Copies of this chain bind each other. A is one copy, B any other.
Amino acid sequence: MIRIGLLGAGRIGQIHARSVNALDNVEIVAIHDPADEAAAYVQAMTGAARASLLEIVDDPDIDAVIIASPAMQHAEQIMEAANGGKHIFCEKPIDLDMNKVRECVAAVEKAGVKMMVGFNHRFDTNFNAVKRNIENGEVGEVELVQITSRDPSAPSMDYLKSSGGIFVDMMIHDFDMARYVLDDEIVEVYATGSVLTDPAIGKIGDLDTATATLKSAKGRVAVITNSRRSSYGYDQRVEVHGSKGMVRANNLRGTSVTLANSTGYRSDPLLDYFQERYAVSYKAELQTFCRVISGQDEKHPDHIDGLKAIELAEAAWESYRKGRMIKIGE
C-alpha cells in the first residue's frame, strides 16, 4: 500500500484525489490545505486526516506527496518533501524562478527520491499514440512539429497575476510536448505574442495570443501557437512531420453525431476544457506515478523535464522582450 500526503486540495488536488481513489494499493492519508472548505471536501472523499506540511513530511508512514498547491508554494514543498525522503508528484511549474527550480532539482537528486512533474498531456491516449508512431519509425526522422493549444477563455485576473504569464502557465505543456515528440534537446527559442482578447491581460504584462518557434540541436523545428480564447471548445492538437510521413492527434468532441441540413453539416464543438479533455490522462498519470515509485516503471516526466520546460518558458519571455531568438544556455 502506497500512502500519500496531498498538498493542496483545490481543483487540481481534487482531480488527483479522485484518481488515487480509483486505484488499488494506494491511498491519500493526509491532506494539507489552509482552506477549510477544500480540505473538508477531499477529507470526505478520501477519509484522510488534515495535517500540516511538516507533519506530512515527517510522517514515516507516508511514502509520497502530491503537490497541487499554488505555484509559489511548490518550491518550498518540494524541498521539504525531498528532505523528508518522500517521493514527489508536483504540478507544473516547479517554480517561476529558475534559481529556485535548480535548488529543487538539487534537493531531489541529493535525497534520491523520485520526482514526477504533472505534464499530463504525455499520458493522453492520443498524444501517446503519436509518440508510439514516432518510436515505431512510422514518420521517419522528425523534421517539423506543430502544436496548437487554445483555452476556451482566460483564467481569472487573480490567477493570472501569479501565474508566470502565458509562456509559463499555459505554453509550458507545449514546451514539454515539443521536447517529447522532437526527441532532441531544444537549443533556440523565439517567441512573440499579443493582447487581443482582453486589454486587462496586457495591463499585468501578460499576453493572450502567443507563439513560439523552437529549434533542436539536430535542426528540428517546432512551432507552438496558444490563445486564451477558443469559441469552439478546448483545442489541443499535435502534428509531427518526418522524413517518411506525418502523424497527428486531432481534437476530441463529446459525441460522434453529425447533423446535416441546408446550412451544411454540423458536428459538436470540442470538449469544454482540460477536466474533460484530459480526464483519462489524469488517471493514467497518477497510475504511472505509483508504478514509478514502486519501481515498476521508469519512463515519466521527471524533475529534469520540469526544469527544461521552465527554462524554455523563461527563454520565451526573454525572446519576447528582446525581439530576438534566445540560445538556451547562452
Q: Which residues of A contact B (CB under 8 A)?
A: 125-126, 129-130, 133, 138-139, 141, 143-144, 146, 148, 150, 188, 190, 192-197, 209, 211, 213, 215, 219-221, 223, 225, 227, 229-232, 241, 243-252, 254-269, 322-325
Complex interface: chain B residues within 8 A of A249 (CB) = 255-257
Q: Which of B129, B148, B232, B259 contacts A260 (CB 8 A)?
A: B232
Complex interface: chain B residues within 8 A of A188 (CB) = 192, 323
Complex interface: chain B residues within 8 A of A150 (CB) = 241
CB atoms of A227 and B144 under 8 A apart: yes
CB atoms of B262 and A251 under 8 A apart: no
CB atoms of A266 and B269 under 8 A apart: no
CB atoms of A264 and B267 under 8 A apart: yes
Q: Which of B125, B245, B250 contacts A232 (CB 8 A)?
A: B245
Complex interface: chain B residues within 8 A of A146 (CB) = 146, 148, 225
- Min CB distance A59 to B, Å, is 31
CB atoms of B258 and A269 under 8 A apart: no
CB atoms of B255 and A231 under 8 A apart: no
CB atoms of B215 and A133 under 8 A apart: no
CB atoms of B221 and A245 under 8 A apart: no
Q: Which of B197, B232, B264 contacts A143 (CB 8 A)?
A: B197
Q: Known interface pairs A232-B264, A258-B247. Does A213 touch B215 (Cβ–Cβ under 8 Å)?
A: no
Tell me the bound Cα distance from A246 to B148 in angstroms: 13
Q: Known interface pairs A323-B325, A325-B190. Does A259 touch B245 (Cβ–Cβ under 8 Å)?
A: yes
CB atoms of A209 and B143 under 8 A apart: yes
A-B contact sample (9 more), CB < 8 A, given A190-B325, A263-B266: A143-B227, A196-B219, A197-B243, A211-B213, A211-B223, A232-B261, A232-B262, A251-B256, A323-B324
CB atoms of B258 and A244 under 8 A apart: no
CB atoms of A248 and B257 under 8 A apart: yes
Tell me the bound Cα distance from A51 to B259 in angstroms: 49
CB atoms of A215 and B192 under 8 A apart: yes
Complex interface: chain B residues within 8 A of A323 (CB) = 188, 324-325
- Min CB distance A226 to B, Å, is 9
Tell me the bound Cα distance from A144 to B207 in angstroms: 13
Q: Known interface pairs A196-B143, A266-B264. Does A138 touch B259 (Cβ–Cβ under 8 Å)?
A: yes
Residue of A146, A209, A232 contacting most chain B CB atoms (<10 Å): A232
Residue of A219, A227, A231, A265 contacting most chain B CB atoms (<10 Å): A265
Q: Which of B223, B252, B258, B263 contacts A223 (CB 8 A)?
A: B223
Complex interface: chain B residues within 8 A of A194 (CB) = 143, 215, 219-221
Complex interface: chain B residues within 8 A of A196 (CB) = 141, 143, 219-220, 243
Q: List 28 A-B contacts (CB under 8 A).
A: A138-B259, A146-B225, A150-B241, A188-B192, A188-B323, A190-B192, A190-B213, A194-B221, A196-B243, A209-B221, A213-B223, A231-B246, A231-B262, A232-B265, A245-B259, A245-B262, A247-B257, A247-B259, A248-B257, A249-B255, A250-B257, A251-B256, A262-B269, A264-B266, A264-B267, A266-B266, A323-B325, A324-B325
